[in-house]
């Protein structure tokens, strides 16, 4: 009896619609167009790799896991393959899952409104924060923003009758399209100014006290 052919779709479930192409020291986020039993179709990268061999990864919608992908670009196009895309034949043995979640997340019972501002401050949107961790956040927006561009997320959280004002800066790394909105997973920068949390404090000279984001998230999770 012939060995059953492995279908990569059995492993790649509940994933984001982006493929992170690793090209040397560079990384390019491409739209994941199609998934077939033995291959994926993605937008053609701006900088094509020097060889047909491909390495990259795809994140799960939850952002808790990502799947490594290895394969090669094939000239065998699919009948329904859109123009300006490439087809990557995937090595099934290369698909492995890894846990990227280092920090615990706080899931908001009621989403909090945030102002999302582009780095050059030419674009501003209102959105809803869905969850928060010391390393990132999840936000729902009415319009699409650009993956890998830096944005500022400004919002307030009230906890134990104290209002915390957050100004967080980071890059969207995943996108999920809903019927009338877009949900983004955002990784925050590592500088202190990228994770700024302040609250009023009369004992401080300027009337404000800085709080570590990790401390705030821990208090929210433990409700202390």
Tens-place pLDDT, residues 49-81: 888 999 888 888 766 678 889 999 999 999 999
Type and span of the H or E element at 215: helix 213-222
Q: How many CB atoms lie within 10 A of CB 144?
A: 13
The radius of gyration of the chain from alpha carbons, rounded to an integer in Å, stands at 20
pLDDT score recorded for residue 132:
93
Assigned fold of 8-99: Thrombin, subunit H (2.40.10)
Q: Decide whether 8-99 matches 106-222 in CATH topology.
A: yes
Q: What are the structural domain ranges in the chain?
A: 8-99, 106-222
Confidence bin at 123 (pLDDT 50/70/90) = confident
* Whether pLDDT at 39 is above 60: yes
**Is 60 exceeded by the pLDDT of residue 2?**
no
Residue 81's pLDDT is 94
Query: So what's the pLDDT on residue 99?
Result: 62
Instruction: Go through the chain and tell me how many residues it has.
Output: 224
CB 94 within 8 A of CB 71: yes
Say how far apart CA 148 and CA 47 lie, in whole Å: 16
pLDDT tens sequence across 165-177: 999 999 888 888 8
CATH architecture of the region 106-222: Beta Barrel (2.40)
Tell me the C-alpha to C-alpha distance, in Å, between residue 179 and each of 92, 134, 142, 161, 183.
Answer: 32, 29, 10, 36, 11
Kindly report the backbone phi and psi dihedral angles of residue 15, in degrees, each rounded to the nearest multiple of 5, phi listed first. Answer: -110, 160
Give residue 88's pLDDT. Answer: 96
């Amino acid at each position: 009896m012939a060995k059953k052919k492995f279908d990569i779709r059995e492993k790649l479930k509940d994933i984001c619609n982006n493929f992170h192409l690793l090209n040397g020291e560079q990384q390019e986020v491409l739209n994941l167009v199609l998934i077939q039993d033995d291959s994926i179709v993605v937008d053609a990268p701006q900088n094509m790799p020097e060889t047909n061999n491909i390495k990259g990864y795809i994140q799960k919608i939850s952002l808790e896991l990502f799947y490594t992908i290895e394969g090669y670009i094939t000239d065998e196009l699919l009948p329904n393959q859109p123009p300006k895309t490439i087809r990557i034949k995937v090595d099934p043995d290369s698909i492995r899952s890894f846990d990227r979640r280092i920090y615990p997340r706080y899931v908001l019972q009621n989403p909090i409104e945030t102002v999302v501002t582009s780095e050059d401050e030419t674009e501003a949107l209102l959105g809803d924060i869905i969850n928060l961790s010391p390393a990132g956040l999840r936000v729902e927006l009415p319009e699409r923003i650009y993956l890998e561009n830096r944005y500022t997320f400004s919002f307030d959280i009230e906890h134990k009758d104290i209002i915390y004002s957050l100004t967080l800066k980071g890059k969207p790394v995943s996108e999920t399209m809903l019927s009338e909105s877009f949900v983004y997973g955002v990784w925050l920068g590592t500088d202190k100014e990228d994770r700024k949390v302040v609250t009023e404090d009369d004992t401080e000279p300027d009337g404000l006290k800085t709080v570590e984001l990790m401390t705030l998230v821990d208090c929210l999770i433990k409700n202390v």
